[in-house]
Structure 1
């Protein structure tokens, strides 16, 4: 019998770094955009942001950008199981998004569902791009 070497796919440090990039980047950039919005508005209620569809679309794209970057960084750092590790970023993000949907915190449902559906594929695209760049070098 030949003994096969077990190859671990999960890379804890890479996933923690990817989650940090995704969540901290999203939090800081959304906070900055929200602060700029309120600085230029007489409205001081958060519902004013939620009723501004253009701003919500911008925040959605911005949040997904950070998820993409988190998936990319995770795959780069992991150097093994790149897509698996990048997918973890998306799955954790989807879990957070699903919790947000359940809490009914005033965020438009269309925003919540688009983010929920798109987050795993976007994280995987980041991981795929890192994997593709690895193969070309």
Structure 2
């Protein structure tokens, strides 16, 4: 792909708040609330691990060292957008995320667990379908 000049579009997740669309890229730290988002994400990942969460490293880049794979998964754009939404909306408010690529297996699992931990409905529209996460269950039946 490099020799032909073909580039893959980066995964982006969007969340609209007060008529402003907030866009997140994987590992992005350019958002004004990044420090707070990453702190809250660390707390959520700890709670997810208590429920048995193990990162699905099949969803990472192939050219990344094994020890770095967990870190790359933790900062996928969906997770950043979800945490931003949790921090900036009232408890119980549904979270609606749009994504330009298909959600990876790890983010799907994480979204299920986050919906259970936070008691929030999380709706993610990826390129294939809507995923409606509520109480730790997805509307797709984990078949997407």
Fold agreement, TM-score > 0.5: no
Decide which structure has greater strand share.
Answer: 2
Higher relative contact order (CA 8 A, sep 6+): 1
Bigger Rg, which one: 1
Decide which structure has greater helix share.
Answer: 1
